[in-house]
Each structure stands twice: as structure tokens, then as C-alpha cells.
Amino acid sequence: MPETDDDLVTMTWEDAEAAFADADAALLGTGSVEQHSVHLPVSVDTLRAEHLTEELVDAAAEHDLEFVRLPTLPYGMSEHHMNFPGTITLDPLTYEDAIVQIGESLARHGVERFVIVNCHGGNREPLSNAADRLVREYGLATHFVHWTDFARERLKEVFGEGWGHAGDHETSVIEHYRPDLVKAGKKEPQNATEMPETASYGYFDRVTDLGGLGDPTNADPEAVAEVIDHGTEEILTALKDDIDAGW
């Protein structure tokens, strides 16, 4: 049997055939290319997806799981950030179809289970729709994991409220994994407008001039490392429970 590691990007087709046969699931990280204020790169969500899926793969064996990690999908649904230069978006239906076609490709190669790990809020609806389609149309067991959902309470404990887009949390994550990409001299409170309770804001520049929420000067990469470990364990436990239950 050909030797493999866990990343599809490093495999030959023979490696992939063997890895798909042995793995419990193929795992895809989904991010975005969109503005993250003036102190963080447009790749924040994609960097998070890349590193956080690596954490899941590295810890999987402790939960008696094995994954093949697909190349991270860098583009997402980011229309709400398009008034800030550097943002690149896919139409929601285009994005949904792309995910379905990735899953369809996996199913054709004999993969029976697909895990999507999302790190961008704007992707949630098209990813949920795509997951439903993959189950219904292709019989591919599909798990949709929005990473932050599994660490939300711990993030509130560490950062309080308002730690969202380009704020305390995301700045901490990038300082943890890629501190070289953080413009420390540009970190400042984002002074965002309070979000409406019922109205759609349309575009994010109606909410914040700089492009972020919260206060990135409160970033704490050491604290967020513990949150990452906690979220990783929570996700793997949930996946193992669902797989063992036959979902």
C-alpha cells in the first residue's frame, strides 16, 4: 500500500485511493478572502480554516478518527464586505454548487463521509444548503461544522462580548499562528455601530469605518491557544458521537 500523510495535496492518485479507503471522512476547510480591518490580512478566515483543520487532523487519532484533509477552499460568500478593496466573493449559488461538486467528486471516488469545517459566517447558509443536497442527491454523509459554534462560550469567557470580525478573537488567532501578518501599529478599537435587531445592514461599511468589530488591542494569543484546544476537542467529540450513531 502506498505511504501517505493526511493531506490530499501531497498525494498521488494511488496514495489518495488508499487514503480514502482507510479514512473515516474527507475533511474540507472553508474560509474567505475579505477585508479584516486595517491590521489583519484579507486571508484571515482562510488562514483560520487551514490551521484549525490541521489541529483537527492532528488530534483525530485521540478520538479514534482518521481524516483525509482536502486543500482549504479560500474563496467564500463575502458580498457584504465588497465595499472594502481586496474582498473577493462568490455568488451564493455558485458557492453552494462548488461545494456540491467537491462532494460529488469525493463520492465518485468511494468516499462515504464528508466533513466541512467553516471559518466564515457568510458561508453558513450556502454550506448548509450544500450539505443537505449532498445527503439527498448523492447519499454522501455530510457534517457541517461552523468552528466558532464549538468555542463560543469559551470565547465569551476570555474576551467578553463583541469579539467578532477582525476583533479580539480573530486578531488573537492570527497572532497565534501568523504574527508576521499582523500590523500591530494599526490595532485600535473598531468603534462599530451597534448592529440592528431586525434590519439588514446590506454592506459592512454601514457598521464600521475601519472594517472590524470589538477591540483588537485586547488580543491574547496565549489565551486563544487554549480556546483552540477546547474547540478542537469539542468538534472531534461531536463528530465521533454522530458517526458512531450512524449519521
Domain residue spans of the chain: 8-236
Q: Mean pLDDT over residues 4-30, rounded?
A: 95
Stronger pLDDT, 194 or 154, i.e. the higher one:
154
Comparing C-alpha atoms, which of 154, 114, 151, 157 is closest to residue 237? 151
Q: What is the pTM of this model?
A: 0.95
Q: What is the pLDDT of residue 163?
A: 84
User: Are the CB atoms for 53 and 117 separated by under 8 Å?
Assistant: yes
Q: What is the pLDDT of residue 32?
A: 98
Question: 55-104: per-residue pLDDT in tens?
Answer: 999 999 999 999 999 999 999 999 999 999 999 999 999 999 999 999 99
Rounded to whole angstroms, how far apart are CA atoms 147 and 170?
12
33 secondary structure, DSSP code: B
Confidence class of residue 161 from pLDDT cuts 50, 70 and 90?
confident
The domain defined by 8-236 folds into Rossmann fold (3.40.50)
